[in-house]
């Protein structure tokens, strides 16, 4: 149980385009989802916290207009990188936590490369 | 504020020898502590957690960790390392009185096991 999926697993896009990444909790309802960003061989940096049906809370320094997060249902959250630039290239990992768990379950990550 | 410290960027051990990956934390309230492992270009895999109870926690793949409240530490250990244990290891923490917040990660420690 407690499986989290991400789609796509990798994506390459041109500079200036927008990219949407989906995060799904497959066998539980996730009231809270988190989005992290990871640079090569570096730690996970929390970008934002989203609760179902409400606006995401962004960490300091994260541009909310650039990284749009939507948590429209208890099993789906999306991260849209708008007008992507090469510096947005990174590994994006989502995490979900349900009501009965103390731990977060992580998706497999999405590798974004912006050319 | 919550924080996690992994003082070693890299740990090198020979196969068959015991290994320790260090982690110390700072959190308000009682800590919820976790260890995750990450292989190249993959997501995080959960190893073990401490929520309450016995200070020695046993997890996946023969790993264990000991919670030490006085030293605010949660070091990861394994009696006999395998080459396949070579990976990036993350310690993470959340305060028990911060139910809605995300896990905060250490910077990661690269474990290299030589044959």
A12-21, B3-12, B34-43, B71-80: least confident range: B34-43
Structure tokens at A7: 């789609």
Chain A residues contacting B via beta carbons under 8 Å: 6, 32, 34, 36, 41-44, 46, 49, 51, 91, 93, 95, 102-109, 111
Q: What backbone phi and psi angles, to 5 degrees, belong to A88? A: -85, -10
DSSP A101: -
Residue A102: the pLDDT is: 61
Chain B residues contacting A via beta carbons under 8 Å: 32, 34, 36, 41-44, 46, 49, 51, 88, 90, 100-108, 110
CA separation for the pair A115, B87 (Å, rounded): 29
Contact check, Cβ <8 Å, A93/B43: yes
pLDDT tens digits, one per residue of A60-110: 999 999 999 998 888 999 999 999 999 999 999 999 987 665 678 899 999
Max Cα–Cα distance, chain B, nearest Å: 44
Percent of chain B scored above 90 by pLDDT? Answer: 73
Of the candidates B34, B43, B46, which has its C-beta nearest A107's C-beta? B43
CA separation for the pair A110, A94 (Å, rounded): 9
Structure tokens at B53: 């109870």
A73-82, B68-77, B97-106: least confident range: B97-106
For the segment B78-100, the average pLDDT, to the nearest whole number, is 88
When pLDDT is cut at 50, 70 and 90, the band that residue B100 belongs to is: low
Of the candidates A43, A51, A109, which has its C-beta nearest B105's C-beta? A43
Residue B99: the pLDDT is: 63
For the segment B47-57, the average pLDDT, to the nearest whole number, is 92
- Residue B36, pLDDT > 90, answer yes
Average pLDDT value over all residues in chain B: 92
Contact check, Cβ <8 Å, A108/B42: yes
How far, CA to CA in Å, does B7 sit from each of A6, A72, B20, B59? 31, 39, 12, 22
Question: Any idea which residue has 């502590």 for tokens?
Answer: B33
Higher pLDDT, A101 or B43: B43
Higher pLDDT, A3 or B17: B17
Angle, CA A50 vertex, CA B87 and CA A40 arms, to 5°:
25
Residue B41: the pLDDT is: 76
């Amino acid at each position: 149980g407690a499986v989290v999926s991400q789609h796509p697993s990798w994506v390459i896009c041109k500079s200036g385009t927008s990219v949407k990444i989906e995060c799904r909790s497959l066998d539980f309802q996730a009231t809270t989802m988190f989005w992290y960003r990871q640079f090569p061989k570096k730690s996970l940096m929390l970008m934002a916290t989203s609760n179902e049906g409400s606006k995401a809370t962004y960490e300091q320094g994260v541009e909310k207009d650039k990284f749009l997060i939507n948590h429209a249902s208890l099993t789906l959250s999306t991260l849209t990188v708008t007008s992507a630039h090469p510096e947005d290239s990174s590994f994006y990992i989502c995490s979900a936590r349900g009501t009965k768990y103390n731990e977060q379950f992580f998706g497999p990550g999405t590798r974004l490369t912006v050319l | 504020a919550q924080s996690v410290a992994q003082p070693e960027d890299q740990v090198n051990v020979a196969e068959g020898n015991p290994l320790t990956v260090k982690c110390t934390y700072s959190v308000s309230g009682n800590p919820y502590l976790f260890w995750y492992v990450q292989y190249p270009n993959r997501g995080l895999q959960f190893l073990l957690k401490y929520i309450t109870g016995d200070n020695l926690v046993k997890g996946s793949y023969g790993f264990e960790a000991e919670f030490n409240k006085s030293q605010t530490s949660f070091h990861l250990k394994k009696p006999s390392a395998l080459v396949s244990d070579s990976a990036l290891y993350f310690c993470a923490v959340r305060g028990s009185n911060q139910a809605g917040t995300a896990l905060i990660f250490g910077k990661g420690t690269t474990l290299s096991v030589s044959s």
